[in-house]
Amino acid sequence: MDIELRRVDSPDELVEGRCMMCEVEFTPGTVVADPSDTYGRLVCEECVGYLHGRNPERFPSVELLHRLIAEYPTPAFPSVEAIIRLEHEDLQEAERQLTASVLWVARPVEQVSA
């Protein structure tokens, strides 16, 4: 499993949901731990901490998650409508901004030992 830390796209994502790992309800912050290929199924802070403790080269720390939430206190866009509007006006710019909302990804395994 790969996890990326990304800004939530809009305030609509700041709602309580279940962690995809432990199934406990939690409310995400403005930066979330998002496993690849499971958009919308997030990992809670406690599970992020567990994964980092087991394999710190592969998974982000809770401290990093907190630091990024402090640095990015708002979603990437003010609303879902703003995303849709930008996609209609300039699809490449919308894709660029959504890609830029990814703040941390694990290094590929072959780079970890380098």
Residue with tokens 């590929």: 108
Tens digit of pLDDT for each residue in 60-111?
Answer: 999 999 999 999 999 999 999 999 999 999 999 999 998 999 999 986 544 4
- In degrees, rounded to 5, the angle at the alpha carbon of residue 16 between the alpha carbons of residues 26 and 107 is 60
Which domain, by its residues, includes 46? 3-112
Residue environment code for 85-110, b if the CB has 16+ CB neighbours within 10 A, otherwise e: ebeeeeeeebeebbeebebbebeeee
Measured N-to-C along each axis, helices 80-89 and 91-100 cross at an angle, to the nearest 10 degrees, of 130
Number of domains in the chain: 1
User: Taking residues 51-66, what's their average pLDDT?
Assistant: 95
